[in-house]
Amino acid sequence: MRKILVIGIGAGDPDYITVQAINALNAVDVFFVIDKGEEKEDLVALRKHLCDKYIRKAGWRIVEARDPERDRKAPAYEAAVEDWYEKRALIFERMMLEELGDDGCGGFLVWGDPTLYDSTIRIVELIRKRARVDFEYEVIPGISSVQALVAKHRLPINRIGEAIHVTTGRKLAEGLPEGVTNAVVMLDSQNAFRTVDPEAEIHWGAYIGTANEILISGRLKDVAPAIEATRAQAREKHGWIMDTYLLRYPRK
């Protein structure tokens, strides 16, 4: 039976990869990689670098496919994302059937941790439900951008006796649940931190763990303009940006 490994490779630094993930890399025959175009070709290059650095066996290979277009202007956000997942599932299914033998091991290399704001597990489950490919799969955890962010800022993720809320920029703009005083925000393309209490602290990071890493920290009222300008400049320079931040609200 085919086996699929969904491997968390950490938030960017090649040294973030775990021993378990290295062992998983060395079990894979074919790696399936989605190409997101010229703007993010360095992300594909980083995956190839990890394979070259840590794989000791011969005969492994990488198969690439172009990422399907996602309708980012659709009025129904969840429906648009689900449609995108279905398109990806069809591509991955075809790759498994055409590129992986009946007893082969395939691998997906996932930035950060596969369980945190990543679509790979959901897509693999869609393929399983279609039942055109017979396989089993395993998920290998990785160091997420959230863990790397707070480590870079030398912070515990929550204050004593307080919970931590993990959300997206889109949801932050709608408002946080009552009582939330520590929030990690991911996937914020609209600078949603502008909508919250300017007295809150923000600990922000982009391209965490890579040579392009940027860190900014302080009261929102003091550093929000700098973060907004830095984000715009970095996106213009690199063609893309991945950033994460921790918000800490004043104690009441």
The CATH number covering residue 225 comes to: 3.30.950.10
**Are the C-beta atoms of 63 and 30 separated by less than 8 Å?**
yes
The last residue of one of the domains, among 109, 143, 177, is: 143
Q: How many helices (H) and strands (E) does the chain have?
A: 7, 10
- What pLDDT does 215 receive? 98
For 2, 5, 115, 231, the CA distances from 129, given in Å and listed in that order, are 15, 17, 19, 40
What is the Cα–Cα distance from 228 to 222, expressed in whole angstroms?
12
Q: Are residues 137 and 240 in the same domain?
A: no
The model's pTM: 0.91
Strand partners, 243: 206
- What pLDDT does 74 receive? 63
Q: Which of 111, 85, 86, 108 is nearest to 96 (CA)?
A: 108
Q: Are residues 198 and 230 in the same domain?
A: yes
Q: Are residues 30 and 75 in the same domain?
A: yes
Q: Which of 116, 118, 251, 228 is nearest to 182 (CA)?
A: 251
The CATH number covering residue 56 comes to: 3.40.1010.10
- What pLDDT does 78 receive? 81
pLDDT single digits (tens) 70-114: 766 666 678 888 888 999 999 999 999 999 999 999 999 999 999
Q: Are residues 35 and 110 in the same domain?
A: yes
Q: Are residues 6 and 128 in the same domain?
A: yes
- What pLDDT does 79 receive? 81
Q: Are residues 80 and 169 in the same domain?
A: no
153, with CB counted inside 10 A (0-12, 13-18, 19+), is middle
Number of domains in the chain: 2
For a pLDDT cut of 90, what percent of the chain falls above it? 77
pLDDT single digits (tens) 211-238: 999 999 999 999 999 999 999 999 999 8
Task: Quote the distance between the C-alpha of residue 6 and its chain's center.
Answer: 13
Q: Are residues 135 and 175 in the same domain?
A: no
What is the Cα–Cα distance from 10 to 112, expressed in whole angstroms?
4
- What pLDDT does 67 receive? 82
For 64, 83, 117, 236, the CA distances from 71, given in Å and listed in that order, are 22, 9, 18, 22
Q: Are residues 135 and 166 in the same domain?
A: no
- What pLDDT does 167 receive? 96
The last residue of one of the domains, among 111, 143, 175, is: 143
Q: Which domain holds residue 163?
A: 146-248
What is the Cα–Cα distance from 82 to 136, expressed in whole angstroms?
23
Asked whether residue 202 carries a pLDDT value surpassing 90, the answer given is: yes
**Are the C-beta atoms of 153 and 246 separated by less than 8 Å?**
yes
Helices (H), 153-193: 169-172
The last residue of one of the domains, among 103, 119, 143, is: 143
User: What's the whole-number mean pLDDT along residues 3-14?
Assistant: 95
Residue in the structure block whose two tokens are 């104690």? 251
